[in-house]
Amino acid sequence: MIKSILKGMVIGIANIIPGVSGGTMMVAMGIYDKLIHCITHLFKEFKQSVLFLLPIAVGMGIAIILSALGLDYLFENVPLQTNLLFVGLILGGLPAIWKNVKGNSVRIGHILAFLAFFALVVCMAVFGGGEGSSADLSFTVGNVLILFGVGIIASATMVIPGVSGSMVLLLLGYYNPILSAISDFIKAVLAFDVDGILKGFGILVPFGLGVVAGIFAIAKLVEIIFAKFPLYAYWAIIGLIIASPIAIFAMGTFPAITVVGVITGIIALVAGFVIAMKLGE
């Protein structure tokens, strides 16, 4: 239970940070296939699926709350070490994925899948580093429908390994407004501010419903791909994983590099690698 909650926290934090893929972290910790199966078979295997998904969802919820209450402190004050920690967490999952393709012949299609998804992640980071105009979250019927659609897009991209859902939100102009809405909602709940709570519901409920709808839709598609083209899927994921560190550094901002920063960064990298391997066991 505790281990699953910790995995959920890592996934939740990864989904919040632009350039880091929550789907990649699911793969790194060895739960991607089972998570997709539990989502697509939620009603057929309800008890087993809920027992697996619930602690992960709790961990993700905790991560979102921690982020809203100031997780960005680490990225502002020790960006190199924090980003290297996530690089370690991502690369720590590579050995587990490699086992799925090891011993199989490598075809041209496998190489093309690797290169295509490697290029996808790098291009998204290099050419999509800026933020779109800030979205309007005022409560109107049109905005409710838009938030539902944005939720679908965000969740679909969050589930796909190597694609950063938060980066997509950033490009759409909804990243900072949604984070601010979450933060304001938590503060309103803690302060028993009824108006603030109702305002938060008006934003987060349609967005959340879109997230749920998107997760179910993309999970079914992913399950079909893994069932029919497993080796192509794994080679694509390897491309996504290897490209992710490039995307993280392409989107990050770093101060002057110091010897202490490099040493502590390497320690963070190794720690992330070990954590990912242990959580994936």
Work out the percent of the chain whose per-residue pLDDT is above 70.
Answer: 85
Q: From CA 177, how far away is CA 203, in angstroms rounded?
A: 10
Distances, alpha carbon 205 to alpha carbons 77, 115, 176, 214, 245, in Å: 33, 38, 17, 14, 33
Residue 270: per-residue pLDDT: 92
Residue 18: per-residue pLDDT: 62
pLDDT over 90 (residue 112): yes
Work out the percent of the chain whose per-residue pLDDT is above 90.
Answer: 11
The predicted model scores a pTM of 0.65
What does the buried/exposed string (b/e) look like for 166-180 if buried means 16 or more CB atoms within 10 Å of the residue's CB?
A: bbbbbbbebbebbbe
Q: From CA 230, how far away is CA 100, in angstroms rounded?
A: 9
Q: From CA 98, how far away is CA 43, in angstroms rounded?
A: 32
What lies within 8 Å, CB to CB, of 206 at 6+ separation is: 144, 145, 147, 148, 151
Q: How many CB atoms lie within 10 A of CB 224?
A: 11
Radius of gyration of the chain (CA): 19
Read off the pLDDT of residues 176-198 as tens digits, 9 standing for 90 and up: 788 788 888 888 888 888 888 98
Across the range 123-133, mean pLDDT stands at 58
Across the range 141-161, mean pLDDT stands at 81
Mean pLDDT highest for which of 54-63, 120-129, 153-162? Answer: 54-63
Range of the domain at 153: 2-279
Read off the pLDDT of residues 52-98 as tens digits, 9 standing for 90 and up: 999 998 998 888 777 666 666 777 778 888 888 878 877 877 777 78
Q: From CA 61, how far away is CA 112, in angstroms rounded?
A: 37
Residue 133: per-residue pLDDT: 47
pLDDT over 90 (residue 114): yes
Across the range 12-27, mean pLDDT stands at 73
Q: From CA 162, how far away is CA 236, in angstroms rounded?
A: 9
The count of residues in the chain is 281
Inter-helix orientation angle 194-228/32-40, to 10°: 110
Please tell me the least confidently modeled range out of 110-119, 129-138, 233-242.
129-138
Residue 131: per-residue pLDDT: 47
Domain tally, the chain:
1
- Range list of H helices, the chain: 2-16, 22-28, 32-40, 46-66, 72-77, 79-91, 94-101, 108-127, 141-159, 165-172, 175-190, 194-228, 230-251, 259-279
